Chain A
Amino acid sequence: MFNLFKKVCLCCFSFLFCALFLSGQANAKIYVDINKGDVEAFPIGLPGLMGDSSADQKTADLISEIVKGDLTGSGFFRAIGDKSTQSLDTLVVQPQYDIWTEAGAHALVTGMVHQSGKWVTVSMRLYDVLQQKIIDGKTFVAPKDKLRHLAHVMSDDIYSQLTGVGGYFDSRIVFVALSQDGDKQSRRIAIMDSDGYGLRYLTKPGDHVLGPRYSPTHDEIAYVKYQKGNPHVFVMNIKTKKEFRVGPDYGITFSPSFSHDGRKLYFSYSLEGNSDIYVMDLRTKHVKRLTHDSSIDISPSPSPDGRYVAYVSNKSGLPQIYVMRSNGRGSHRISYGEGSYKTPAWSPKGDLIAFTKQHLDTFFIGVMDPRGRHERIVSSGYFQESPSWGPSGHMLLFMRQATFDQRHEHHLYRVDISGYYMREVANSVDATDPSWSSLLDNYK
């Protein structure tokens, strides 16, 4: 029956991943209110998945470990139990709710793993232990060489079912990796999974690069590279590494940002010291100027519906955040707190704009609504900047500087918009300028 189901599944879907409901509709109950801020980590039973064979068990253990790392690493969950709490073979048939209740779990994840040819199939169940009922059941199918992505998709599903908010685990981060090459600091554009695995470099050590931005299509990045002493925006295809330079041969271009459909690229162009915001249609290469004043206009960030663009201007003296319509009209200032405001990032939900604020010698990462109201600080310290939104619009990624033995280190941190759950991203030492992708699809 199981094999028949899997064959049907593989035949029906030409793409690499499918998730099929085995149970009824997703439960609307919110088990973990992550918007509340100060909440105790939710206890979830994670005894591990069971393999069909010893080879399958190895794969099951790896997927279980990744899912556990994702959920507990978010700060919203703590893992309860292991294989000894209830034997996996009996667990797959039916959980003994009293055992898990006694162990302190409020929810429970079980599942079976089966491998066939190039494919791995995971049948997962998510239970409400206290109410003794199934919350969700799905089957995930993926190529064997995409196990980590399959596990992240599972984590996203569990996270989403229990919090009511979309997950962020099956995503990537592009950033600038710093290293010391003799007297010179080397900067390379790097890319890795959201949990720090799969690190690879996209540019050469000798290039002077900064400000990479991930395209919503996942195929491209835009970044800034110095050529002959001046910065210029480039768009690179991640797979082929082919790239083209944006803007004219004269002047400088910097601070690129993709539109949310990936079809346009916003950037700053500076000629004779005057920086303005421009937008380029990536298909036709047609460029349009959006701001026309003599102030410094930089850091464009378009709204997800494409109707507005947030940006930074120093037209009032200090750098502040402004919002204009996407045709460049109707510009108005939205930041009025103490100090300067920079690096606006419009959330994928459209409800918030994240920013870097600087007042005296303190830097703040915060959010406000698109009208500049309800400002909320989520992190503060000596030097931190460049907030970038996670896929579901409730987590931010940013760079924070720390000093160890008189040496400055740059690390990437992830924080929820309540500012309560802050975690350092694994393998992010000497990393800066992060840009968080949307959720991946088809295991790219």
Chain B
Amino acid sequence: MKNVKTVIKIAGVGALMSMLAACASTTTETGPGPHSTFDPAGHASVSYFAFNRSDLVQGAKNALDLQAAFLKANKAKFVQIQGYADSRGTEQYNIALSARRAHSVSSYLRAKGYTGKIVTKAYGKMEAHQYNADDTSEMGYALNRRVIACDTDAKNCADKEKNPLG
């Protein structure tokens, strides 16, 4: 009986993993601008924010729903959350804004049942997106207004950042 339960549990996790894998890098927003994603293979999500905002848009919530389920299924003990801002604000304001964005993601994962340790980072505008460090277009700015959340198995959050433009 115990073995059957274990098999069912493994099958359940397997189904969830398959579902998440299918959703990997799935777009969860419509319209122009980068789309928030959760990549289970990379153990990381990227949530994008509107200008001067720290509240989660629906697309970001969808991506974090997937990540919260993944974290619970994998009993992840540790998540690192990195907040960033675009280059248009001042250094000081962007630190505060990126801290607030990171906290929005942290609070959402907690609300969705993740109970492990969370460490947040506030990078402000200091580490521009690796794919568009000098891009001063609206899309370039939008790509930098982001929060990356990754679990223990992602050795380096920044390395797990995928190019949202493909």
Contact = CB atoms under 8 A, between A and B. Distances in A.
A275 B96 contact: yes
Interface string B125-152: 0100000001000000000000000000
A273 B92 contact: no
Query: A230, A312, A340 — which one has the most chain B CB atoms within 10 A of its CB?
Result: A230
B54 interface: yes
Nearest to A318: B52
B91 interface: yes
A408 B102 contact: no
A299 B89 CA distance: 13
Interface in B74-103: 82, 87-93, 95-97, 99-103
B134 A252 contact: no
Given A273-B102, A273-B104, A408-B134, A231 B95 contact: yes
Given A273-B100, A275-B99, A296-B96, A361 B123 contact: no
Interface residues of A, number: 35
Given A229-B121, A231-B122, A408-B134, A342 B93 contact: yes
A252 B52 contact: no
Contacts of B90: 299, 342-343, 356, 385-386
A181 interface: no
A358 B89 contact: yes
Nearest to B95: A254
B51 to A, nearest CB: 10
B92 A270 contact: no
Which 9 pairs of residues, A with B, have the shortest CB-CB distance? A273-B103, A229-B121, A273-B100, A255-B92, A275-B96, A296-B96, A342-B90, A270-B99, A298-B92
Interface of B: 52, 54, 82, 87-93, 95-97, 99-104, 119-124, 126, 134
Given A208-B126, A270-B99, 17 more contacts: A211-B91, A231-B122, A252-B122, A254-B95, A268-B96, A273-B100, A273-B103, A275-B100, A299-B90, A299-B93, A340-B52, A342-B93, A358-B88, A383-B87, A385-B91, A386-B90, A386-B91
